[in-house]
Each structure stands twice: as C-alpha cells, then as structure tokens.
Amino acid sequence: MEKEPLLQLRVFDLNCWAIRYLSKLRQERVQMIADTLSQEGYDLVLLQEVWSETDYRTLKQRLSACYPSSHYFRSGVIGSGLCVFSKYPILDTFLYQYSLNGYPYMLQHGDWFCGKSVGLLVLKIQEIVFNIYVTHLHAEYCREKDAYLPHRVVQAWELGQFIQHTSKAADVVLLGGDLNMHPEDVGIRLLRGWTGLRDSFTDAERFEGCEDGCTLVPDNYFTNKKELQPFPLGIRIDYILYKGQSNFAVKCDRLVTTTGKAPGKSIPYSDHEAVIATLYVKRHGEAKAPNSNTVEPALVDIMNEARTEVRVGLHAAQRQRYSSGRMAILALLLLLLQAVMGLSSLVGWASPQPFPKFSFSVLGSLAVLVLLVSGVLHIFHAIEVKVLQGTEDQMRLALQSLQDRLSTK
C-alpha cells in the first residue's frame, strides 16, 4: 500500500522583470504580484529580477502576514535581483556569485553589473530539511551567435557543483529560477545530469498552462515578438527542479503556468510566465546516501559536449586577452615615443616644436586612454582565461571519475 505524503509544498516561481526606470508598468505589476501572492498563500515564493530594493521592501511589507520569513540576496553593482518569501522560518542563507557573467563593456546587456548568483536558504518543515536554491543565469540574446554560451555553461557547472557540495545534509533539494536555457541545451542537461534534479514539467502528473510549458510566449504583451519569431509557441527557460535525498522522495502532482495575462487582469505579471508547482514529499522505507545516483553513460557525452563549449570560450578569451595586451603595449610605446620627443625638445636635441602643442596633447591623452582601457580589458580577459581553464580542468577530472565508475560497473 502506497504511503500517504508527509507534506505538500506549493511553490511559486517568477522572473518579475522589474528593472527600475526601464520595465513597463513596473510598480503596477509589483502590486499585482503582491496581491496574488497574498491571496493564494503559497508555501514558498522564488522571485528573480527584483532589481530595486524599494520593490522588495514593498513586497515584504505587503506579504509579511502571509510570508513571515523573507530574504533579499545582494550582489554585484545593482544587485542579484533574487529574493524569497516563505511561510516557514528561514534557518540559514548563503549567496554564491558566479565566476563568469558576461562582459562589463557590453553595456546594452548589463548582466555583468547584476552579479548573477545562486542564493541558498535552508528550511525545516515537519523535521524535513529543505535546501532551497534560487538563481538567474546569463541571458542568451542571440541563439545563432551566442557569445555568452561558454559563460552560461560555466554558470551551470558552478551551480551544479554548488548544489552538490552544499546539499549533503538536506532531505529535499529544490531549485527555482530563470536558467535562460532551453530544455535541450547542454547547460541544463549538464545541471540535471550532474545533480540528479528532476524537472517538474516532465514529471508533473497534471499540467495546465502554455503549450510545452513555455514561459516566454508571443501572447505575452511585454515579450519581444521579434526575438521569438523562430519559436511560434515560445520557449521554456524558467524551471522548478527538485529531488529527494536520504529516505525521502518528491513528486510533482500539479504544475501550472500563467498564459499571457495574469488571471483576472488586463496585463501580465511580467514578460515571463509564472511557474507554480504542487509537490508532495514522501518517506522511503530505507535511507539512501545523498550521492548514490547511478552514473548514466549519457552523462559522459554531456560532459564532453560541455567541455567543448568551455574550450571554445577559452580560445576566444585567449584571443581577446592577446588583442587587448597588444593594444596596451602599442599605446605604451606611443607614450614613450612622445616622452622622448618632449624631452628632446626641452634639452635642445630637436626643434622646439616638432608638433603643434594641441595635437601633441590630444595624441598623448588618447594614448593614455587607450592604455587604461586596453589594460583593464587585458586584466579582465586574463581572469576569464583562468576561470575557463579551471572549469575545464574540473570537468576533465569529473569526466575521468565518471569513466572510472562506469568501467567498474
């Protein structure tokens, strides 16, 4: 006879698209989100892109009666945008900022300034320890020429490693957020394969919402229709993933996504659709070790594919490091040449004014500017190279361990 579930957990996940001064109808939508969360009374709320702490304080004030525990994860220049609201006491929190997160000179994208991260909070519900993770990975922007794919793969790997190394004492692991990856992308396959996390959409016994579980759909008033032209139904990039450990099992009874407009409203909550999962936690008869996941041969192929993407990014970073270093050296040589010419005119080795003073000053200023910019870029790309090399080394060791385990089966 099947055991009754010990616990039901209703989880709400949403990328709020609340960018101060830029997002349309931001304050109205934040109020809508607060109204819905207070009415529905979910057990756990995971939000991304709450960039303004003012919006977080508004939500916290409105939701304090229903969700007495909350936390805002601060990171980067403008913040991680991650926050959580819980019916149950939050026992502990931790933030890990990803090593790579785009480029500071790509101002039109801005991911680097956000300090993309993963936030961890620990809950204890009916003596069951939950490790809850909320994250937001680097955006894609252009699928055909995705310059950020290596960075996103590194983020997926670091996220998987972070979950593996921090969840050993947990009974249940849950991850929610905007992963900016399609279900078939190498990053999400690597994350799921490495951690053993299950997808609430594929495992749900009942589903209601957008076709194929899409969370970025053309029917949404705020989405960029041009970007979604190759995907008539939309794309699925927001996830609720989970797994049970020790002697606990988790299943998704029901998964719901919003479908364009918020229920009973004329506008959506965000440019993303909300994902709402109803999870049941059950107890197994026998305990199992947290790291007892069987090794699937397909994981070896996924690891090789991910290493290939990291190597591609490594070669590109090395080229950029070389180019910026060469530019810095040329600017430095130009400055030295100008210094020699200036000293020569002072001591009488050359004509008093080999160049007009204004032109000489402008040229010197430009050389200083190029030296500073190229020097900073060289340092940035040198760090990028080191991170990619380190990630590739980690993947190589992990792959070797997987192959050894498969050979002994």
Which positions are annotated as active-site residues? 272
Dist. CA 408–CA 277, nearest whole Å: 39
Strand partners, 190: none
**Residue length of the chain:** 409
Q: Report CA-CA distances (Å) from 296 to 167, 248, 395.
A: 21, 22, 16
Q: What type of residue sits at position 83?
A: C
Dig out the tokens for 150 from the structure. Answer: 């290596």
Neighbour-count burial for 229-254, b at 16+ CB within 10 Å, e otherwise: eebeebbbbbbbbbbbbbebbbbbbb
Torsion over CA: 127, 205, 176, 147 (sign): positive
Q: How many CB atoms lie within 10 A of CB 311?
A: 15
As a whole number of angstroms, the distance between CA 318 and CA 310 comes to 12
The structure tokens listed for 133 are: 């993770």
